[in-house]
Structure 1
């Protein structure tokens, strides 16, 4: 009987792509994949180690699987990913329930790792992080019509609050021909929506070609038959230029949507973060983007409670958010991470104050989102079907205004049966906080 393997992929969508590559290798070598680790012989945990809450989630997951192993439900546990890579000197000792502890440079050898643990060997291996594979076959674990397209690995920006360069190494782009080949194959297999991602997506190609090539890459992706929606996440503000905006405005397959993480607006705070901009330059940038691409959805992320953030600087941020009126926004309290420069900065702010400030920003954003949604009443949009809510007795999905996993949804009724992945035209009839309610008017 085939050995059953279950994967728990934690953290970001970039981590998910790594998990999908491991799954493909395992299935290709005859292992049976199961969706519930509790039903598996071997469980693999691909951890996140970015901030405190992510580390806690990873540790809790490993401990829960350890209990299943003690009970005999589970035979072996393999742990990998960012948490393990970040704390590689301690990980093997700290997680005695793990039969294998491997770094991100070793995930390409997951089949060999499994061979070791099935032979009752405890296996610990940390190949150089720069050996992490940049491309390869995957098993799509998202809904079948959409997936993430990771176009680069690592980061070279060295923001003072962020451990990603320590964990993942320097920024490395995937050669354009490899990206195009992967996207073409995904489209041939039924994927109609691609979400282009990297740690700093707008920098794509700079290390390979001497200049950023995201605009050129997106243009080439739009030529692929079968793709319908292509969106881009994680574009740093200083890298947004007219070439990129012109492509987004011109190409029908590029949804009018950009995620631009800015983290703050105050110039002094941004300087201590090793980030670009100030209130004036950022406001001018977003106004320019909206002028170049009318109707574009702008998403950003912010950090409150960064060391030294005064009440006045926080108020500046709150007023900035009110004026710019982002369509989508996430705000997080500063997480003090060892190994980063911000860890030792003076003026550390207590967690309660930082969290309270984040809550204020999100309350403001809720009001903005509700007001924006009210303006959509009666309008018609194309939506993709993601599933059926049997409790609400309605279908749900997303319009092009919303990215998978991080944004809102639209709930809608239909007189005809639908399939996941269908694109339908809906009319908005009501709103629900960040979500929309509507009805299908044509398929």
Structure 2
């Protein structure tokens, strides 16, 4: 156990990761050394940044807290702090059930940890982060919260209403990161296409991304977590016209049948969704779409599910994830619908949906054989360098494997790679 060494454990999404990185910068400015997600935590202080989105995430967070509570009981750590979404929502219950935790913080007050440690924020570090990602890419969080009230989602209950960061603040952060060597930016928010509405009633995501793309040194910008209702189509002009804005967007669609969309409170119709996909593909040729779909929502019939399967076959999403519905405390569906789709039916539907997507993904990736693509190298593993194209977000999308026999490649550098082989979720290539 090392004094003045703090282990930060981050659970959940990349938005949580940004919070952890912000806290780490301040802790280090106050004289601490920090490790992130270490396989063998060795500090005398542990901070756990929790997720509270769905049941599995909540269980992982609770189990992690309990594990470190035992470490504290056995004298292997001195102090244990918890922050993030789970403690934002369930602080009273957690305080009663896990007294070994020195203090719980929510989603927005975690900087109070500095005060509890006898420290204070360092003004010169405000707006800076300790990056835990490879040094060539970073996540940029452009807003907090969500004004959507989807029937199944607990996020608005945790994070509150949508609040956009000031554009100048975001662009300043991007410039600082470019100066530190970052080339690729993953733009994240609970609902990025809503950016700016809380400021003046207008959507400003296109303006923001356009201005970001004009910053010298920004090589790639990739967009995550859009929403299909009232989609700002001017954003497509930016994606098409700015060469450093990746032809990639992540829009969680959840379902396609009007029955499900209405019950989910998605404020979009089946035909709206089909037209959205048509228009995106028409206005940005070659774009790769990522989406997330849900099966087993209360009231989902066999016909609803068949519509979803046919939609996936039609849309041919380049990237797709799916999950089975789980009832969440305080949500509209949790309080007003019976969770009436049996677990075995949910599981079977999920398996069938992903099997369809697996075939589509394999076909799409195979079509890239023989093409030459711009690839950024993330790391070296064994006999391969591992990289990504503009169509691949870190950790969730396919990677490009380049044999080390091609020569010495620089981590964080771009290369033209000719694709020589493809699997369902990965590509193989050689530097041209």
Per the TM superposition, whether the score is higher than 0.5 is yes
- The counterpart of 2:311, out of the listed 317, 320, 335, is 320
Deviation of the 1:279 alpha carbon? 2.6
Q: Within 5 A, what are the aligned runs for 1:122-141?
A: 136-141=127-132
Q: 1:372 aligns with which of 364, 370, 387?
A: 364
Offset at residue 237 of structure 1 (A): 1.0
In 2, Cα distance between the equivalents of 1:185 and 1:332?
Answer: 37
In the alignment, is residue 231 of structure 1 matched against residue 232 of structure 2? no
**Equivalent pair of 1:262/1:300 in contact (CA under 8 Å):** yes
1:387 aligns with 2:379: yes
Q: Equivalent residue for 1:417?
A: 408
Aligned to 1:358: 350
**How do residues 276-295 of structure 1 correspond to structure 2 at under 5 angstroms?**
276-295=267-286
Match of 1:407 among 397, 403, 418: 397
Deviation at 1:96, TM superposition (A): 2.0
Partner of 1:107, secondary structure, is coil
The separation in 2 between residues aligned to 1:16 and 1:113, in whole angstroms, is 22
Match of 1:433 in 2: 424
Count of matched residue positions in the alignment of Structure 1 and Structure 2: 421
Per-residue Cα deviation, 1:147-170 (whole angstroms, up to 9, x for no partner): 110000011111110111110011
Tell me the alpha carbon deviations over residues 16-65 of structure 1, each in whole angstroms, 9 at most, x when there is no partner.
11111111111111011124262111010000000011011111111221
Give the Å deviation of 1:2: 5.2
State which drifts further: 344-353 or 61-70. Answer: 344-353
Choose from 80, 83, 92 the match for 2:83: 80
Contact kept? 2:3, 2:43, Cα under 8 Å:
no
* Structure 1 Cα separation of the partners of residues 254 and 71 of structure 2: 40
Q: Aligned equivalents of 1:171 and 1:319: distance in 2? A: 34
Q: 1:251-279 CA deviation, whole Å, 9 max, x = no partner?
A: 00100001111100011211111103233
- Given that 2:69 and 2:98 are in contact with CA atoms closer than 8 Å, whether structure 1 keeps it comes out as no
Structure 2 gap ranges (5+): 120-125
1:38 and 1:68 in contact (8 A); partners too: no
Cα distance in structure 2, aligned partners of 1:229 and 1:417: 23
Query: SS of 1:395's equivalent?
Result: strand
Please give the residue correspondences for 1:15-414 in structure 2 after superposition, counting only pairs within 5 Å: 15-35=16-36, 36=38, 38-115=41-118, 136-344=127-335, 345-346=337-338, 348-390=340-382, 393-414=383-404
Following superposition, the deviation at residue 339 of structure 1 comes to: 0.6
CA contact (8 A) 2:327 2:339 kept: no
Secondary structure (helix, strand or coil) at the match of 1:384 reads strand
Q: Supply the distance in 1 between the matched residues of 2:367 and 2:419 (Cα, whole angstroms).
A: 10
What TM-score do the two structures reach when normalised by structure 2?
Answer: 0.95
> Following TM superposition, by how much is the alpha carbon of 1:101 offset from its aligned partner in structure 2, in angstroms?
1.2
Cα distance in 2 between the residues matched to 1:388 and 1:220: 33
Which consecutive unaligned segments of at least 5 residues does structure 1 have?
Answer: 117-134
> C-alpha separation between the residues in 2 aligned to 1:293 and 1:279?
21
Contact 2:141 2:188 in 1 (8 A): yes
Cα distance, 1:13 vs. partner? 0.5
- Give yes or no for contact 2:229–2:266 (8 Å, CA) kept in 1: no
Cα distance, 1:171–1:219 mapped onto 2, change above 3 Å: same
Whether the aligned pair in 2 keeps the contact of 1:2 and 1:30 (CA below 8 Å) is: no
Task: Describe the SS at the equivalent of 1:247.
Answer: helix
Comparing 334-343 and 87-96, the one that deviates more: 87-96
Q: String of CA shifts for 1:185-215, please: whole Å, max 9, x gaps.
A: 1111111000111111001011112201000
Q: Partner of 2:122 in structure 1? A: none
Contact 2:210 2:238 in 1 (8 A): yes
Cα 1:275/1:23, change in 2 over 3 Å: same
Counterparts of 1:325 and 1:223, CA distance in 2: 32
Q: Name whichever of 36-45 and 195-204 sits farther off.
A: 36-45
What is the match of residue 132 of structure 1?
Answer: none
Normalising to structure 1: TM-score of the pair? 0.92
Secondary structure of 1:386's aligned partner? strand
CA distance in 2, matches of 1:51, 1:283: 28
- How far apart are the structure 2 equivalents of 1:228 and 1:386? 15
Q: Which residue of 2 aligns with 1:127?
A: none
- Structure 2: how far apart are the matches of 1:423 and 1:156? 38
8 A contact 2:366–2:423 mirrored in 1 = no
Equivalent-residue separation in structure 1 for 2:339 and 2:114 (angstroms)? 48
